[in-house]
């Protein structure tokens, strides 16, 4: 949407919304990876969103 309506390649805070490389859309993968390298982005650990203990193992 940034490209279409604002004429910008990527939002200024894109690195805050990408946790791991799997979050990057396939059709923009190379461009986004180059952008993230410029920002010194590192993958973040995805934590378990539930506070319940796991019953199933």
- CB of 18 within 8 A of CB of 32? yes
- Residue 9: the pLDDT is 80
Give tens-digit pLDDT for 27-45.
989 999 999 999 999 999 8
- CB of 15 within 8 A of CB of 39? yes
| CA proximity to 41, closest of 16, 23, 10 | 16
Give tens-digit pLDDT for 2-24.
677 777 788 888 889 999 999 99
Range of 5's domain?
Answer: 1-57
Indicate whether this model's pTM tops 0.75.
no
Which helix (H) or strand (E) is 35 found in, with range? helix 29-38
- Residue 30: the pLDDT is 94
- Domains held by the chain: number: 1
- Residue 55: the pLDDT is 63
């Amino acid at each position: 949407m940034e490209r279409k309506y604002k004429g910008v390649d990527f939002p200024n805070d894109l690195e805050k919304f990408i946790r791991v490389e799997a979050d990057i859309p396939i059709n923009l993968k190379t461009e986004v990876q180059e952008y993230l390298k410029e920002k010194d982005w590192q993958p973040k650990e995805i934590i378990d969103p539930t506070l319940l203990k796991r019953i199933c193992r």
